Amino acid sequence: MSNPISLIFIIISIYFSLPLFTTNSRTIKTNKVLSSSDDSSITYLWPLPSHLTSGNQTLTVDPNLSISLSGNNNAIVTEAFERYKKKIIFKHTSSSGGGTRKLSYDVGKVNVVVNSDNDELQLGVDESYTLLVAKNNGLSIVGEVNIEANTIYGALRGLETFSQLCTFDYGTKTVQIYKAPWVIKDKPRFPFRGLLLDTSRHYYPIDIIKQIIESMSYAKLNVLHWHIIDEESFPLEVPAYPKLWKGAYTKWERYTVEDAADIVDFAKKRGINVMAEIDVPGHAESWGTGYPDLWPSSSCKEPLDVSKNFTFEVLSGILEDMREIFPFELFHLGGDEVNTDCWKSTAHVKQWLQEMNMTTKDAYQYFVLRAQEIAISKNWTPVNWEETFNAFGEKLNPKTVVHNWLGAGVCPKVVAQGLKCIYSNQGFWYLDHLDVPWDQVYDAEPLERITDASEQKLVLGGEVCMWSETADPSNVQQTIWPRAAAAAERLWTSKEAAPISNTSEAALTRLQYFRCLLTRRGVQASPVTNFYARSPPTGPGSCYDQ
């Protein structure tokens, strides 16, 4: 094995006589709620790495921490390192080290080895990493942090974990790493770990969306499902059909093409894909504000008019323009909650149905399948809500990814048919359901009732959904966090390291700590154990015990 970091990893593991890639049993030990006397049995990392070992040393980190990179095309990693260093790790300290000046520090450099120069970000990109932290004391061979990853996106996940190991000590005014040496070998359990953001029911300014994306990276979520458009508003610019964004609430609540591209670029630099959605044929009333011909009639404004080629020309134009913005291979076409009653009561649509010898259910199927064909022709993999599968699953294109939301038992049926599935059971992972406690979010299992290994691989992962009927920039982060983090660990960490029903005080303590980490980083996360999410605290108390 010629790679020097790989060699260092093996030597350190042997030296400390620790199992090479085994989970430390201390990571799941029960502990009382975090207090001022920190219990060393808890590993304060979220999501918990799949495999780790730790020791009992405390290391100091040099405020002039530097980075050494091997490989090309590492601008994203360099930028991320500077971001973590200046805004997170050394938020409290100046370059001089603050009050008590130490002549030497235990850790002064982060060595990052990235084994691939490819910066393409797609579904299933390798996010694994190895993180080593050890002291140069004459006994071990390194006094640096070493991160090795196959891609820059694995390196980003390693930097996040490293940042969580760094803690500011108020007594010495230094950044310290406890429980060193650390040997962490980590990778995600699922390739798709998403958060849906609905910008139709309420508009979110660009900076708010970026704040949400930034916070997603802290929990190692990797897909922003951007539900841009719905029946209430159409805020996105579509150059091919410039009147469409007349459907925005106001002329100030819009996204230009450049805005959307900026969001995609910002997300990529944090290892996050953006999956856009246009929800057809239902949930599309706003389309007709600019182009009334898309409505079957003035009294039947959705579903979109299935009888006109113009409808599909507009759909194709939207997808053509959006393909220039969104490079992610998945595109969400919606397809949920389609009430076709008014098609039957609209004269020209009714006549078309008769000529085509179709029922309204047939026409619903026709619309969904034609939309899929258009998306596939533009090199997209279509994603559809589960109603399409429930109504005509055997007719869906074999490339279809079915998005479960109505309840349990859908993903097992989907994968049994050979299709892929994304899990978002609304009973647990709909964040606008404010009465779902953190432990139910944590225990929800995307592979429930799926035991066959080949079928399990067809479950891409899952997604928490932030629908915005009752959320806007004033309260969206409080609604997302910290419950989204509970799902994030379920999606990242292996079941062996974070078993279902691990709602012990240890898991709660770690989540409370992560919630406070979020607030320190400027994320307006709610207390963990609220009866209703985003409720304020009931009285005075510590951030760690509310």
Task: Single out the residue in 156, 186, 216 at which a domain terminates.
Answer: 186
Tell me 198's DSSP state: E
Residues 470 and 336 in one domain: yes
Q: Do residue 444 and residue 482 come from a single domain?
A: yes
Instruction: Give which of 161, 157, 23, 41 is closest to 89, Cα–Cα.
Output: 161
Band of pLDDT at residue 93, cut at 50, 70 and 90: low
The 10s digit of each residue's pLDDT in 170-222 is 999 999 999 999 999 999 999 999 999 999 999 999 999 999 999 999 999 99
**Whether 138 and 216 share a structural domain:** no
pLDDT for position 87: 96
- Over the stretch 390-422, which tens digit does the pLDDT of each residue have? 999 999 999 999 999 998 999 999 999 999 999
Q: Is residue 366 domain-shared with residue 394, that is, in the same domain?
A: yes
User: Of 186, 203, 222, which closes a domain?
Assistant: 186
Residue 337 bears catalytic tag: yes
**Sign of dihedral through CA atoms 484, 421, 331, 227?**
negative
Note the pLDDT of residue 26. Answer: 32
DSSP single-letter state for residue 500: T
CA 412 to CA 192: how far, in whole Å? Answer: 17
Residue 542 Cα to chain centre, angstroms: 28
Whether 170 and 212 map to the same domain: the answer is: no
Give the total residue count for the chain. Answer: 546
Question: Would you say residue 411 lies in a domain?
Answer: yes
User: Average pLDDT, stretch 312-339?
Assistant: 98
Instruction: Give a yes or no: residue 508 inside a domain.
Output: no
Assess whether pLDDT exceeds 60 at residue 484: yes
Same domain, 56 and 109: yes
Of the listed ranges 69-73, 136-140, 285-289, 475-479, the one predicted with least confidence:
136-140
Question: Does 332 share its domain with 457?
Answer: yes
| Residue 219 in tokens | 């929990």
Q: Is the pLDDT of residue 22 over 60?
A: no
Q: What is the pLDDT of residue 499?
A: 80
Identify the CATH number of the domain in which residue 267 sits. Answer: 3.20.20.80
- What is the three-state SS of 296-326? CECCECCCCCCCCHHHHHHHHHHHHHHHCCC
Are 290 and 428 in a shared domain? yes
Identify which of 428, 396, 402 has the alpha carbon closest to the alpha carbon of residue 415. 402
Residues 213, 175 share a domain = no
Residues 334-382: tens digit of each pLDDT: 999 999 999 999 999 999 999 999 999 999 999 999 999 999 999 999 9
Same domain, 168 and 270: no
Catalytic residue among 120, 337, 373, 496: 337
pLDDT for 35 equals: 44
- pLDDT band at 261; cut points 50, 70, 90: very high
**Shared domain check, 236 and 126:** no
Question: Is the pLDDT score of 502 beyond 70?
Answer: no
CATH of the domain at 83: 3.30.379.10
Q: Is residue 540 part of a domain?
A: no
Task: Kindly report the average pLDDT of the chain as a whole number.
Answer: 90
Going by pLDDT thresholds of 50, 70 and 90, the confidence category of residue 483 is very high
Structural Rg of the chain based on CA atoms: 25
Residue 346 and residue 290 in contact, taking contact as beta carbons nearer than 8 Å: no
Domain boundary among 186, 210, 243: 186
Mean pLDDT of the region 146-169? 97
Both 88 and 214 in one domain: the answer is: no
Q: What pLDDT score does 98 carry?
A: 46
Give domain status of residue 11, yes or no: no
Residue carrying the six token digits 């891609």? 151
- What pLDDT score was predicted for residue 17? 38
Looking at the domain assignment, is residue 537 inside a domain?
no
Please tell me the pTM assigned to this model: 0.93
Confirm whether 534 is domain-assigned. Answer: no
Phi/psi for 194 (5° steps) reads -115, 165
Across 261-270, 375-384, 456-465, 535-544, least confident range: 535-544
Q: Please, which pLDDT band fits residue 127 given cuts at 50, 70 and 90?
A: very high
474 lies in some domain: yes
In a domain? residue 28: no
The domain of 142 spans 51-93+103-186
Cis ω before 205 (30° cut-off from 0): no
Q: Considering its fold, how many domains does the chain have in total? A: 2
In the predicted model, what is the mean pLDDT of residues 108-114? 95
The answer to whether 194 and 463 have CB atoms below 8 angstroms apart is yes
List strand residue ranges (DSSP E) for 338-380, in order: none
